[in-house]
Amino acid sequence: MIPPAPIRDIHPGVRCVLAPNPSPMTYHGTNTYLLGTDRVAVIDPGPDDDAHLAAILGATGNGAQITHVILTHSHLDHSALARRLADQVGAPIYAFGDSHAGRRSDLDGIDGLGGGEGVDWSFIPDITLCDGEEIATVEWRLRAIHTPGHMGNHISLAMGDVLFSGDHVMGWATSMVSPPDGDLRAFMHSLRKLQNRGFTRFLPAHGDPVENPETRLQELLDHRQMRTDQIRAALAEQADTPMGLTKRIYADVDPRLHGAALRNVMAHLIDLMDRNQITAAPALSLQAIFSLR
Model confidence over 154-168: pLDDT tens digits? 999 999 999 999 999
pTM: 0.93
**Which residues does residue 8 pair with via DSSP β-bridges, in sequence order?**
16
pLDDT tier at 284 (50, 70, 90 boundaries)? very low
Strands 134-136 and 141-146: antiparallel
Share of the chain above pLDDT 90, in %: 76
Chain CA centroid to CA 37, Å: 27
Q: Going edge to edge, which strands form the sheet with 31-35?
A: 7-11, 14-18, 31-35, 39-43, 65-70, 93-95, 127-128
pLDDT tier at 286 (50, 70, 90 boundaries)? low
The Cα–Cα gap between 60 and 134 comes to 22
Reported as a single tens digit per residue, the pLDDT across 7-27 is: 999 999 999 999 999 998 999
The confidence score (pLDDT) of residue 90 equals 97
Share of the chain above pLDDT 70, in %: 95
Reported as a single tens digit per residue, the pLDDT across 97-153 is: 999 999 988 887 777 788 889 999 999 999 999 999 999 999 999 999 999 999 999
The Cα–Cα gap between 144 and 124 comes to 17
Tell me: pLDDT of 293 over 70. Answer: no
Residues 6+ apart with CB under 8 A from 122: none
Centre a 10 Å sphere on the Cβ of residue 138 and count the other Cβ atoms it contains: 8
Lowest pLDDT segment from 42-51, 58-67, 127-136:
58-67
Stated as kind and residue range, the H or E segment containing 40 is: strand 39-43
The Cα–Cα gap between 279 and 92 comes to 50
